[in-house]
Amino acid sequence: MKINNLEVTSTLLAYDRCHKIYLLESENDRNEAIDTGYEIIGIDQLEKVWNNSCGLRFICNWTTTTTYVAQDGKLVLS
């Protein structure tokens, strides 16, 4: 899968049930997201999560070193 032409290998995402969407790249990322109270969801639900998020939504990896969609940006999946 690609998000805005960036290759994604993550199989899980963390969602705060509002606008923060983080791709989880390791077991450590997953554990931290769970400990922080995020909902863990399969990457196959990304478009649904995006469509149900508030307008401030963004997508980054958990460590915030990669931004896939900036706040108020457009999601393009391929």
Report pLDDT digits (tens) over 38-50. Answer: 999 999 999 999 9
Place 72 in a pLDDT band, splitting at 50, 70 and 90. confident
Distance separating alpha carbons of residues 55 and 71, to the nearest angstrom: 8
- Which residues have a Cβ under 8 Å from the Cβ of 31 and sit 6 or more positions away? none
- Is 36 inside any structural domain? yes
Pairing assessment for the beta strands 12-15 and 20-24 based on DSSP bridges: antiparallel
Q: Is residue 77 in a domain?
A: no
User: Does 39 map to a domain?
Assistant: yes
Q: How many domains does the chain have?
A: 1
Please give the residue range of the domain that contains residue 22: 8-69
CB 40 within 8 A of CB 55: no
Mean pLDDT of 2-15: 97
